Amino acid sequence: MIDWVDSSAGDIRADVYRTYLLYSQFSSELANMYLRLYCEKSRLLSSEVFQWAPIIAGARLSENVSSENSERLMEIISHYCPL
């Protein structure tokens, strides 16, 4: 089943990074394996995927995540977009 109400079209690298980010909350090993396999199969570069890190981390902040996750997301944003 496809939920067309919430569907959208965009850059697949953003979706890949979001999935990587969600996996990394629980297991960095799983997140890294996912990214490696996805990039191998799709011929994307991980550096292309990580360009989406600050954007997706910022979007996650708007989803009312826990304060622990908020701190982690802010660290990601600060890493890629230092003041």
- H-type helices in 1-83, by residue range? 12-24, 28-42, 46-50, 53-61, 67-80
Q: How many CB atoms lie within 10 A of CB 77?
A: 18
The C-alpha atoms of residue 68 and residue 83 are separated, in whole angstroms, by 22
Domain boundaries, the chain: 10-80
Q: How confident is the model over 14-35, as pLDDT tens digits?
A: 999 999 999 999 999 999 999 9
Q: Which residue has the higher pLDDT, 10 or 77?
A: 77
The pTM (predicted TM-score) of the whole model is: 0.85
Q: How confident is the model over 30-80, as pLDDT tens digits?
A: 999 999 999 999 999 999 999 999 999 999 999 988 888 999 999 999 999
Nearest to 80, CA basis, from 45, 63, 56, 44: 56
